[in-house]
Each structure stands twice: as structure tokens, then as C-alpha cells.
Amino acid sequence: MTTVLRPHAEDDHAEELALLAKEDDRARPPGWKLSPWAVTTYLLGDGDRISPKYVGARRIVEVAVATLATDRALLLLGVPGTAKTWLSEHLAAAISGDSTFLVQGTAGTAEEAIRYGWNYARLLAEGPSRAALTPSPVMRAMAEGRIARVEELTRMPSDVQDALITALSEKTLPIPELNEEVQARRGFNIIATANDRDRGVNELSSALRRRFNTVVLPVPATAEEEVDIVTRRVAQLGRSLELPETTTGMAEIRRVVTVFRELRDGVTEDGRTKVKSPSGTLSTAEAISVLTNGLALAAHFGDGVLRAADVAAGIVGAVVQEPVSDQVVWREYLETVVREREDWRDFYRACREVS
């Protein structure tokens, strides 16, 4: 696994999952590897041996886990960068021990990704048969009693989205060509993620939405909470990417988070100055990306200390998505807010250089 760039959650945290399974003496729903209590502990951490995977309200995680213990599917809804995919992967890893039953939603996702397809060489040679059928991740999860994940559900065309309805309501997938069906085994469920802020989003039909229990993942409530999340993830990514040893400047982390929050909220931290918001989401995930890139610059081209110049280009790239309108927003923020802060002079100069 040392050569894998991004191990699956169940591989990366195998020791923690094994430890929880060994000590878990609570009731487990049929087909689950851990009890709901142990799944929640795995996600939130225990302050000692189990590291936190999700930083947020405990009740949100409890509702999500309880939903999957019923026959209701789970829809994780939120703006981009609120850890929907991250949470869905770790939920599947803890419950099923396998997070790889994945359908990635795009504008080009076909119905076969939800139901099944065919090996056309065998189909032409032998006719319709089980051997010629190519099961989707959802069909395989049903047959094995696992959790299937459907990412970016609202990016799929509406008719493809609705292919899930039979699996969600009847817990079966008919195969009319073979006069057969695949029935879900205990332990099967679906976790879908969606957002309604990005472009290219297709609204869910009311029939499909009724079959999900929706949990909304909020952006971090406070700056301190967001700084904590960003610090943890940047450290994890630095280790997994084996970046050379660098000094992670907390001042720069706080500065990036502050810029993102102020532009996202349309007002400065002290509430005194209103600012315009750019077209992008400026999510926590983007802040993590900016800082990870900054660490790489500091490690390979700097003195090993994360400085304002290392994060400036990343911030400008994240803010200025629309070349004209966002550039105006950024310049106004730079001149009216950043320039006036005495301890931000180095950051102001660095941003001016790359702008």
C-alpha cells in the first residue's frame, strides 16, 4: 500500500477499524461490521486511539448513521467542500468494510452505471446470459449486502437519477432480459451526495427525494473549527504525499481561513466592513488545497517555512474564477481590507505581485 497515492479509507484506517471491531460489544444491524455507536466513534474519534475523520456536530453523524440502520437511504446535502464525499467514504468503510462500490455522477453518467450493462462480445456470441451481464456497483452492493455510494447525484441526468427509485423502494433490480432480479441482502443501503450551488445541477425529482433521508452538512460554524479541520487535513496530506519536512505556519493557515470566510460571508471578521463575494464557493476543501500547495512550494522552492508568498498564488487562483467580475472583487478586498491590516503587509505585497 506504500505505493498507493490515496488508500481507501478501510485500508488507511484498518488498525482503528480492527480495534473498534474487537472491543465493540453493542448490537450490530444485520450485515454491519460495527455497531452504530462504534461507527460514530470511528468518525468522530475518541480523543485517544481513534482519530477524528469528521469535525462537526455529533448529532449530524448520529442521524446519518441511524438512517443507514433503517431501510431509508441517506442523502448528504451541502455546498461544495463540506466533506460530503469524505463522510460517505468513511461511513461505507466502517459499516461495510468496503467503500469501493462507487458511482461517480457526471453529465455523461449512463443508466448502466446504476443498473447493469452488457459485455457485448459475449452478448452477440451467446445471447443474454448472466455471464454476459456487467453488474453496476449498486447491483454488486445489493448482492453482497454492502453500502453503495453515489457521488454528485444532482450532476446526473434526471432519467438516470430515477433509475435508483426501484432499488430504493423495492430493494430489488429487475433484469427483464433474463426474466430475473437481484434482491438486496441485509446490510445494503445507498449513500448519495449532492449540492445545489454548482453549475450543471439537475434537481432531484420529488419521487426520488422522498426515498432519501436528507442530512445537510454545514460549513464550519466558527473560524477556530475551520482552522482545526484545515490543520488536520493539511498535515495528513503532507504525510501521505511525503512532502519534505516543513514548518507549517499557523499564522498562514489562519490567514487563508480568514480570507475565505470573509469573502464567503460578505463581511469582515469584526463585522465592520462589507465586502463583495466572488462567484466561487471558497470551501474548506479549497483552503486545504491552497495550503497543501503552499507547503509544496515552501518545501521544494523555499526555506522550508510556510510564508505568505507560498499561499498567495493559490488564494488568488481560488478567488478569481471569473476573470473579469472576480478580479474586481479581489482587488477591492485587497485594497480595502488586506492593505489596512498592519500584520498582513507581507501577505498584501505577495498578493499584489501575483495579481
- Give the pLDDT confidence score for residue 355 in this predicted structure: 76
Q: If we measure between CA atoms, which residue out of 164, 213, 165, 185 comes closest to residue 65?
A: 213
Name every residue whose Cβ is closer than 8 Å to that of residue 224 and which is 6 or more positions away in sequence. Answer: none
pTM as predicted: 0.89
Going by pLDDT thresholds of 50, 70 and 90, the confidence category of residue 248 is: low
DSSP state of 339: T
Residue 80, pLDDT > 90, answer: no
Residue 116, pLDDT > 80, answer: yes
Segment 140-164, tens digit of pLDDT: 999 999 999 999 999 999 999 999 9
The average pLDDT across 33-59 equals 94
Please spell the DSSP secondary structure of 211-280, one letter per residue.
Answer: TEEEEEPPPPSSHHHHHHHHHHHHHHHHHHTTPPP-B--HHHHHHHHHHHHHHHHTB-TTS--B----SS
Residue 2, pLDDT > 70, answer: no
Segment 312-334, tens digit of pLDDT: 999 999 999 998 999 999 999 99
